[in-house]
Amino acid sequence: MSVYDFTVRAQDGTEVALSDCKGKVLLIVNTATACGFTPQYKELQEIYDACHEKGLEILDFPCNQFGEQAPGSDEEIHTFCTGRFGITFPQFSKIDVRGENADPLYKYLTENTKFEGFNGPAALIMNGVAKKMDKDFKNNGQIKWNFTKFLIDREGNIVKRFEPTASMETVKEAVEALL
């Protein structure tokens, strides 16, 4: 099984087969428009600008599960992201990324990766936030917060998981290594 076996919902409600992305490197991200990590949209767009021509696709899945930080309709979220950050990468319909209503793609991603911990200056804060939501957060693959990223190779295999506190330079270097 790979990410190519999944279908997701575009903003307009149409089904999109991820098999359409075969042969591309993917960075799959759950996002929010009112989060402390929201400025990562700018860095994601910079990575997309630098690497899209080489075969990168960033797949953006807004999610309102963490502090209700993705309010609004799919259209409102998209308008915010294009207006404020100029994003041009595909943005999909808002989904759940954890719990019983989690999108099947995210169930697959989290069941096949491990949480490797938060790092950087925000690690202490994020550990506290994650522990309030899930006392066993360090021992499961569930999404802990907005802007968790999954790097997928050209064959549809999960290569790496990046927590929201990961350096975007580290993310970019990993993307470039696959291209």
Separation CA 27–CA 64 (nearest Å): 20
Using alpha carbons only, give the angle 61, 66, 68 rounded to the nearest 5 degrees: 90
For the chain (179 residues), the mean pLDDT of every run of 10, in chain order, is: 96 95 98 94 98 98 94 93 96 96 98 95 94 94 97 98 97 98
3-state secondary structure of 175: helix
pTM of the model: 0.96
What is the pLDDT at residue 77? 95
What is the pLDDT at residue 73? 93
Which residues carry out catalysis?
Answer: 35
Q: What is the DSSP letter of 179?
A: -
What is the pLDDT at residue 57? 98
What is the pLDDT at residue 15? 97
Hey, what domains does the chain have and what are their CATH numbers? 3-178 (3.40.30.10)
Q: What is the pLDDT of residues 24-74, one digit of tens each?
A: 999 999 999 999 999 999 999 999 999 999 999 999 999 999 989 998 999
Strand residue runs (E) in the chain? 7-9, 15-17, 25-31, 56-62, 149-152, 158-162
Beta carbons within 10 angstroms of residue 5's beta carbon: 13
3-state secondary structure of 77: helix
